[in-house]
Structure 1
Amino acid sequence: MPSTNKTDIDSRLQHFYKERSCLWKLLTGLFLFLLTVWSYVENERKKQPSPSFLSWHRVERQNSSNSSSPTGINSEESQIQISSFYSEFGISLDAYSRLQQAVYWPEPDRSITDVSMSTSPAHTTFIIENLKESYQIGEELFVTVHAKNFENKSKSYGGDFFQAKLFWSVTKASVFGEVVDLLNGSYSVRFLLPWDGEAQVAVRLIHSSEAVQVLKRHRDTDSDRVYFNGYYEGPGPNKTRLRETMTCNVKWDKNGLERMGTGDCCCEYNDPRTQETWRCKRPKSLPCSALVYHSMGGYRNRLTSEEKMLITCHFATQTTTKCLKDKHIYMMGDSTTRQWFEFFVKAVPNLKQMNLHVQYQSGPLIAVDVENNIYLHWRAHGVPLRTLKTAVADLHYISNEIDDQAGGPHTVFIINLGPHFTTYPLDFYTHRVLRIRKAVLALLQRAPDTTVIIKTVNTGYKDIFGSDWYSLQLNRVLHWAFQDVGVYILDVWQMTACHYSKENIHPGPVIIKNEIDILLSFICPD
């Protein structure tokens, strides 16, 4: 295995092979694996000190002249615009700056003229720092990753998107690793050692720093790459029925969404409470008021050939029923919370789903257990929504739904927002999240004993329409927005990223069960 101090590494490895039969292997391709086996013992060991986060931020400030500002606030005019934009949500300029720090991602410090300059998983190496024969439960393990490009040259800038996990396939145990970008081509990964026995370390390159720039560029300039259909219907001549299907999307005057047109090009539908505007191309024969249905339209892949290369390079049943007894549960979000609805319908014996004769993908869906007074409700979060043809009247904004409920000790709100927003600007997503935050604050003001749970975004997307990097950015916005609101945040990011089952935006039954266990612990903490 390549190393800057090969003699020292070889010496340690030889000793470790004799004592513990350690397997040390580097796999090429998309996955980078370093497998090491050890046992935890009771001997007291000195812990490896944690990397200094102060030095990390210091490096970031020193390099800020070579990359975009982490705060994005560079002028008095920008400050005025931002202050106006967020003032209605009670968000100060300092709070906005903290959000920008949370989603900041470093950029290459040079122009990328060839794909060979990007990070190569085959040439990138990593080592376990201060490797020992054995460790105690609760100790920390540190791994250093050294990124190299396809010419086997060390990289001098950060921005790669790595994910790391500690796992053992025999017991199916796993834990996520914290990756810190040192902004010089190296990355520090920290693991907590939580179980007794053997374990393996895996580090995976999700996107090179160059690929991340492709994702950022398309989010900033190409937000109409996902589009939707609006279905207009109305009376025609001689008792006929006119039907027209038009392209629809968010009204946003930049980031590529302005390409739909200006002036009288479109029908606009402004929600008076959220002040968000949805618009569709104006039909030729029907009025704007004739909009009846909504559906997913399609995808526009505008990646160049070079960009394409970069992007591709437990509760018991009885306990569950007891926990949900006398609860009115409102679930609002996407298909990943619909999976929870489906789990409850199967797991709670007397919970019966009603047929409302609606589009299943968007809802609303309702299930009732009359004997135990359980009411379960799920509906999609409103446009933008990638779904089959559904009635526009059935698409409600989450903040409006919250405003229309009284709340109280028997009411539970479960909210998620993510995968359908990966192609849109962060400001648009943040605006939507802050409207929900405002509604939640008002709810907790009038009914402070209401339970509110925010579900974060799953991993599993790997393309230009829904990369995990996009999802990570959305998760950071969610954490920032709800960190001081008095709600539960059910963070499923690590659960879906480091599980032994195949990664999927819609995780399998084992992961869903684990998520439900945590969810029920929030609803019934006693």
Structure 2
Amino acid sequence: MMIVLAQQIKGDGELASHMHDHDNGTYSVRIRIPWAGTTVIRVKNAAKIENTCLRLRTMDTYGTSVFSMKNVWGIGGKFLYKNENDFTMCLPSEMMVNHTRVCNYTSINDGLPWFCAHPRPKELSCEHIQSFNAGSFDGVVKANNPLKVYVPSVEYINAVANIEAPANTHDLYIEKPLCKQMQKRLTWENITNNINGFWMNNTWNLLNCKSYIEHQNNTYRGCLKGNYMYFLGDSTARQYAEFFVNVVLETRPEINLRRFGDNNTYHWRKTFSKFGINVNYLKHAMPFTNPVVPIHDITSVYTELQMLSRSSVPGEKFMFLFAYHAHFQSFPISVFRDRTRRLVKNIRAFLTLKPKALFFVKGPNYCFDDTHWFDNTLTMVYIEILQQAFESLHDRVVYLYTWSLNVEHETRNIHPGPVTLQNQIRHFKAYVC
């Protein structure tokens, strides 16, 4: 996957775009630069096809791509009884390498497939599960070195070009609708092969709509008063929730929502309320990565939506943001597709009962971190799945495109830094305020 990055020399302008692969060893790109003057053009290989293929082969062989990593770790089950303990691999399927017996934990995962290899000591059984943990699998399978990904998996092409961008004569600055007034369907257009904005004057500028909203607490408080905000899914959804809980609601001491609830249950089950705004964060069901994940009170976002659809809160007061990405990337693509289809089904049912509720789907982040299983080509496949699965809801759900901004700021970790996150939040609220 080749990406071109344009950077303004006298200014902070940045623009990123995909390159077109002609399938003959050549690539081309056409971009419209929204500034005048000297611009440096760089090219980055954001994902090597060899690595993507190795990850997919490892998924087929072991049920997970973690064995393509240099240091193999993933989600496992911790078993404990008296003086015996064990740690075994867990997957959303019954495929367990080097194990003939499997423990089925689908019933405690809110009905979603979840299995762990049976513990090896004869004193331990499936009933002795204590938690789901992120841990090392180096001793489970000795994967051959040819199955290991090449690092660095993301790197620059050495060639650099300088061009003189002409004065603005194109349509980047044509009259655009306010984001909050634009058709939701337009947020889904060309999300698999297009850019949705550029960085200039210390601000993320959207191409298909405009917003005058200021990234200020008082602005958000006035806009969100009386609303119930639910952030559901992975840790990038948690970042949004923590911003609204700790910054907008001024919660002190600050809350780390990565922690688990009272009595070490899966969810906090706490609504943070202040200034007439109510904020909740709920994790998606397993697979969810954390040092220690409680086995109690795991629910899926589907059950949560069903319960909230019967709430006495009016639909126009509900605001939902969903984020699925990183926790699924090491597993077969079918797992992500199944979860997405279920999400679409449940959102449609919710909107039947509360048609004025606002729904947002946050797109996957671009990132590069050679120590993890993230692959930017697979991320683009996820974006395609989202677009296809949500086709019937394009008029009812807003797609939050975060790819371009993360590319331009060259986000290394799956969690964007403060400046990138602030502009993601501003982008999100542009469709509301």
Instruction: Judge same fold: TM > 0.5, yes or no.
Output: yes
One-letter identity of the residue aligned with 1:249? C
Q: Does structure 2 retain, via aligned residues, the 8 Å contact 1:274–1:399?
A: no
Query: Are 1:324 and 2:164 matched, yes or no?
Result: no
Q: Does structure 1 retain, via aligned residues, the 8 Å contact 2:110–2:285?
A: no
Map of 2:241 onto structure 1: 341
Query: Are 1:477 and 2:368 matched, yes or no?
Result: no
Q: Does structure 1 retain, via aligned residues, the 8 Å contact 2:108–2:298?
A: no
Q: Does structure 2 retain, via aligned residues, the 8 Å contact 1:345–1:367?
A: no
Residue in structure 1 matching 2:117, options 273, 281, 303: 281
Q: Does structure 2 retain, via aligned residues, the 8 Å contact 1:214–1:307?
A: yes
Q: Does structure 1 retain, via aligned residues, the 8 Å contact 2:109–2:298?
A: no
Map of 1:34 onto structure 2: none
Q: Tell me, in whole angstroms, the C-alpha distance in 2 between the residues paired with 1:387 and 1:295.
A: 6
Q: Does structure 2 retain, via aligned residues, the 8 Å contact 1:354–1:366?
A: no
Q: Which structure: larger Rg? A: 1
Q: 1:196/1:351 Cα in 2 relative to 1: closer, same or farther (>3 Å)?
A: farther
Pairing 1:459-470 to 2, within 5 Å after superposition: 459-463=366-370, 465-470=373-378
Q: Tell me, in whole angstroms, the C-alpha distance in 2 between the residues paired with 1:392 and 1:169.
A: 53
Q: Does structure 1 retain, via aligned residues, the 8 Å contact 2:400–2:428?
A: yes
Map of 1:247 onto structure 2: 88
Q: 1:182/1:493 Cα in 2 relative to 1: closer, same or farther (>3 Å)?
A: same
Deviation string, structure 1 residues 168-200 (Cα, Å, up to 9, x no partner): 254322222132221111112121222344432
Q: Tell me, in whole angstroms, the C-alpha distance in 1 between the residues paired with 2:380 and 2:85.
A: 38
Map of 2:406 onto structure 1: 496
One-letter identity of the residue aligned with 2:389? A
Q: Does structure 2 retain, via aligned residues, the 8 Å contact 1:364–1:377?
A: no
Q: Does structure 1 retain, via aligned residues, the 8 Å contact 2:8–2:35?
A: no
Residue in structure 2 matching 1:430, options 337, 341, 366: 337
Deviation string, structure 1 residues 465-500 (Cα, Å, up to 9, x no partner): 12222222222212222233121111111111112x
Q: Does structure 2 retain, via aligned residues, the 8 Å contact 1:176–1:494?
A: yes
Map of 2:21 onto structure 1: 181
Map of 2:272 onto structure 1: 368
Deviation string, structure 1 residues 43-82 (Cα, Å, up to 9, x no partner): xxxxxxxxxxxxxxxxxxxxxxxxxxxxxxxxxxxxxxxx
Deviation string, structure 1 residues 119-165 (Cα, Å, up to 9, x no partner): xxxxxxxxxxxxxxxxxxxxxxxxxxxxxxxxxxxxxxxxxx11222
Map of 2:201 onto structure 1: none
C-alpha deviation, 1:243, in angstroms: 6.2
Structure 1 counterpart SS, 2:431 = helix
- For structure 1, which segment, 276-285 or 479-488, has the greater mean C-alpha deviation from structure 2 after superposition? 276-285
Deviation string, structure 1 residues 371-396 (Cα, Å, up to 9, x no partner): x2211111221211210113112432
Q: Tell me, in whole angstroms, the C-alpha distance in 2 between the residues paired with 1:306 and 1:228.
A: 23
C-alpha deviation, 1:347, in angstroms: 2.2
Q: Tell me, in whole angstroms, the C-alpha distance in 1 between the residues paired with 2:332 and 2:419.
A: 33
Map of 1:229 onto structure 2: 76
Q: Tell me, in whole angstroms, the C-alpha distance in 2 between the residues paired with 1:290 and 1:426.
A: 30
Q: Tell me, in whole angstroms, the C-alpha distance in 2 between the residues paired with 1:222 and 1:462.
A: 22
Q: 1:381/1:478 Cα in 2 relative to 1: closer, same or farther (>3 Å)?
A: same
Q: Tell me, in whole angstroms, the C-alpha distance in 2 between the residues paired with 1:249 and 1:272.
A: 14
Map of 2:307 onto structure 1: 404
Q: Does structure 2 retain, via aligned residues, the 8 Å contact 1:227–1:247?
A: no
Q: Tell me, in whole angstroms, the C-alpha distance in 1 between the residues paired with 2:256 and 2:377.
A: 37
Query: Are 1:359 and 2:260 matched, yes or no?
Result: yes
Q: Tell me, in whole angstroms, the C-alpha distance in 2 between the residues paired with 1:511 and 1:357.
A: 20
Q: 1:190/1:377 Cα in 2 relative to 1: closer, same or farther (>3 Å)?
A: same
Q: 1:461/1:220 Cα in 2 relative to 1: closer, same or farther (>3 Å)?
A: farther
One-letter identity of the residue aligned with 2:306? D
Q: Tell me, in whole angstroms, the C-alpha distance in 1 between the residues paired with 2:149 and 2:98.
A: 29
C-alpha deviation, 1:220, in angstroms: 2.8
Query: Are 1:383 and 2:293 matched, yes or no?
Result: no
Q: Tell me, in whole angstroms, the C-alpha distance in 2 between the residues paired with 1:469 and 1:216.
A: 11
Map of 1:522 onto structure 2: 431
Deviation string, structure 1 residues 355-413 (Cα, Å, up to 9, x no partner): 9995389753745234x221111122121121011311243222222222127111111
Q: Does structure 1 retain, via aligned residues, the 8 Å contact 2:302–2:346?
A: yes
TM-score scaled by structure 1?
Answer: 0.60
Q: 1:276/1:349 Cα in 2 relative to 1: closer, same or farther (>3 Å)?
A: closer
One-letter identity of the residue aligned with 2:414? I
C-alpha deviation, 1:322, in angstroms: 1.3
Map of 2:296 onto structure 1: 393
C-alpha deviation, 1:311, in angstroms: 4.4
> Which structure is richer in relative contact order (CA contacts within 8 A, separation 6 or more)?
2
One-letter identity of the residue aligned with 2:224? L
Query: Are 1:453 and 2:354 matched, yes or no?
Result: no
Pairing 1:172-321 to 2, within 5 Å after superposition: 172-224=12-64, 225=66, 226-232=73-79, 244-253=85-94, 257-259=95-97, 261-262=99-100, 265-271=101-107, 275-283=111-119, 284-285=122-123, 288-300=126-138, 304-306=144-146, 308=148, 310-312=150-152, 314-321=214-221
One-letter identity of the residue aligned with 2:390? F
One-letter identity of the residue aligned with 1:359? F
One-letter identity of the residue aligned with 2:134? M
Q: Tell me, in whole angstroms, the C-alpha distance in 1 between the residues paired with 2:114 and 2:358.
A: 31
- For structure 1, which segment, 473-482 or 343-352, has the greater mean C-alpha deviation from structure 2 after superposition? 343-352
Count of residue correspondences: 351
Q: Does structure 2 retain, via aligned residues, the 8 Å contact 1:459–1:497?
A: yes
Q: Tell me, in whole angstroms, the C-alpha distance in 2 between the residues paired with 1:394 and 1:194.
A: 50
Q: 1:183/1:511 Cα in 2 relative to 1: closer, same or farther (>3 Å)?
A: same
Q: Does structure 2 retain, via aligned residues, the 8 Å contact 1:338–1:378?
A: yes
TM-score scaled by structure 2?
Answer: 0.72
C-alpha deviation, 1:333, in angstroms: 1.6
One-letter identity of the residue aligned with 2:376? D
Structure 2 counterpart SS, 1:478 = helix
Q: Tell me, in whole angstroms, the C-alpha distance in 1 between the residues paired with 2:297 and 2:245.
A: 22
One-letter identity of the residue aligned with 1:280? C
- For structure 1, which segment, 487-496 or 266-275, has the greater mean C-alpha deviation from structure 2 after superposition? 266-275
Percent identity among equivalent residues?
Answer: 23
C-alpha deviation, 1:326, in angstroms: 1.1
